[in-house]
Amino acid sequence: AVEYMQSGNNKEAINILNKITNEAPNNFGAYTSKGHAEKTLGKTNDAIKSYQNAYKIKADHGEAFFSLSNLKTYSFSDHEVHLMNSQLSRVDLSLKEKSYFHFALAQGYELKGQFDNAFEHFKLGNKIKKDQSKYSSSGMDEEFLTQIEVCNEEFFTKLGSGGCQSSDPIFILGLPRSGSTLIEQILASHSMIDGTLELPNILSLAHSLRGDDVYGLKGNYPKLMSNFTNQQRVDMGNSFINETRIHRKGAPMFTDKMPNNFRHIGLISLILPNAKIIDARRYPLDCCFSMFKQLFAQGQEFTYDLKDAGSYYSSYVNLMDHWNKVLPGKILTVNNEDVIDDLDGQVKRILNFIGLPFEENCISFYKTDRSVRTASSDQVRQPINKKGQGRWKSYASHLMPLVDSLDSRLLKQDDLDLIRL
């Protein structure tokens, strides 16, 4: 069932999971997995029942409660809030389950308008994750600066043209919770584009180029790219196209929505020079606080602390400014706020950049029936709205660490004043 879910065949996964629960009705994990598959398919009511079945079997199964909150539309009953609080009072509850319960309760309290209680649980849940993480904001800044120092104008001029000439991929990148899933859903509604997943292939390639320099301390990558032969670039690009084919359904183009690929735009440009790159961007206070509110299992450790999140956002903007300077015209920046304010205009702008004709289905993207595995899966099945804008304002009194770590030039003065009050 897990293999089917990983390959996108969620309907078959659900069939298998139904067989499992029929044979073993107390298998809470099977119900949770079934809920994940149902959520991915947009069957929200079915997912809710599956998650509820899971926690009714095992009351300390925090993932089931968190999964309900992660639907973004589920409102916990007073009874469920009591159940979660009673579990958190246990001394034998694992840190993993505690983190799940804190994030679920935070969502529950937010929907009830109890923002101080909600923030406390967001803070506690993130602290558990941060304490288990080896993330270093200074180390990440150093990685970004190395990309800027190595992949300069001279670097690209010296290497010249080359690589795999396929124009199939559309990379949608940026930060988590920036509106990238919305852009992906819009593009996947086009008849000539397959919407895939957050594909790990570019990150895996960058990791392999580091070799034994796992944490990038020796600087092997990106420096070794200076010595790429054209054949190496062609082979790497072809490998990407071939390895990702399993996720496609036959359309001429396809999306890769891995956010962290923005750190590897230099590599992408060398091996896939004709790929389209879209930078999904969102106002920093909305984006960073939304990241802090979202429990990421791995790969986004900078989201566990408001100060780290702000520092990362500023560094991301700095790196993207560099890519736009050395690769002019290569990247299209799409602001989430612009998409919400002018959907028609932004859809036409994006399709024009990609080189495809306008299709009405891209405007009614929420009707497109496809698997969406990210935290925004339920949100992108709704018409465009402004529900996600300004939610940080209810938590303004708690956000000084975020503001202090952000480049103030990225913020509106009125918002700075509100938080500093």
134-148 tens-digit pLDDT: 899 998 999 999 999
**Residues of the chain above pLDDT 90, percent:** 86
Euclidean distance between CA atoms 164 and 296, whole angstroms: 33
- Count H helices, E strands: the chain? 21, 5
H/E element, 419: helix 413-420
219-257 tens-digit pLDDT: 789 999 999 999 999 999 999 999 999 999 999 999 999
Query: What would the DSSP string read from start to end of 104-139?
Result: HHHHHHHHTT-HHHHHHHHHHHHHHHHHH----HHH
260-288 tens-digit pLDDT: 999 999 999 999 999 999 999 999 999 99
* Structure-derived torsion over alpha carbons of residues 374, 375, 377, 378, reported in degrees to the nearest 10: 170
pLDDT of residue 340: 94
Euclidean distance between CA atoms 277 and 353, whole angstroms: 9
- Tokens 């120092």 belong to 149
Euclidean distance between CA atoms 236 and 230, whole angstroms: 10
CA distances from 421 to 305, 396, 398, 412, 416 (A): 22, 9, 11, 15, 9
Going by DSSP bridges, is the β-strand pair 276-281/331-335 parallel, antiparallel, or unpaired? parallel
62-69 vs 44-57: helix crossing angle, rounded to 10: 160
| pLDDT at position 306 over 90 | yes
- Which pTM does this prediction carry? 0.91
pLDDT of residue 370: 47
Please report which confidence band the pLDDT of residue 1 belongs to, taking 50, 70 and 90 as the band edges: very high
pLDDT of residue 386: 78
Kindly calculate the radius of gyration of the chain based on its CA atoms and give it in whole angstroms: 22
Q: What share of the chain is helix, strand, coil (3-state, %, to 5)?
A: 65, 5, 30
359-382 tens-digit pLDDT: 999 999 888 764 555 544 555 556
Euclidean distance between CA atoms 83 and 386, whole angstroms: 32
**Residues of the chain above pLDDT 70, percent:** 95
165-202 tens-digit pLDDT: 999 999 999 999 999 999 999 999 999 999 998 999 99
- Tokens 């670097």 belong to 155
Euclidean distance between CA atoms 346 and 84, whole angstroms: 42
7-16 tens-digit pLDDT: 888 999 999 9
Going by DSSP bridges, is the β-strand pair 169-174/276-281 parallel, antiparallel, or unpaired? parallel
109-128 tens-digit pLDDT: 999 999 999 999 999 999 99
Determine the residue type at 358.
F
